[in-house]
Amino acid sequence: MHILQIGDLMTNVTLAVPEELYNKMKKHSEFKWSEVARKAIEQKIQDAELLNDLKAIAEAEKEHKEGKTVSHKQVLKELGL
């Protein structure tokens, strides 16, 4: 993969695809393949971030059930507020 940054807005990424796939892509010039790839990458990142959030929530729920958390009132008291 080759990465080239253009200004502050976009970065070019060159990726390799099998020749057979490339030939099929050429037959469908109605698609903007860079946009297809960009959207797929964005979706994969959103999925990964959601998974991270769900794991963090599950861990927080586990700690809460185990009594490892403190209430906001306790935090305020410890901060002298």
pLDDT in tens, 5-46: 656 678 888 999 999 999 999 999 999 999 999 999 999 999
- How far are the Cα atoms of 9, 28, 71 from residue 23, in angstroms, in the given order? 30, 9, 60
How far is the first Cα of the chain from the last one, in angstroms, to the nearest whole number?
A: 53
58: containing domain: 2-78
Q: How many residues does the chain have?
A: 81
Looking at residue 46, its pLDDT comes to: 96
Q: Structurally, how many domains does the chain consist of?
A: 1
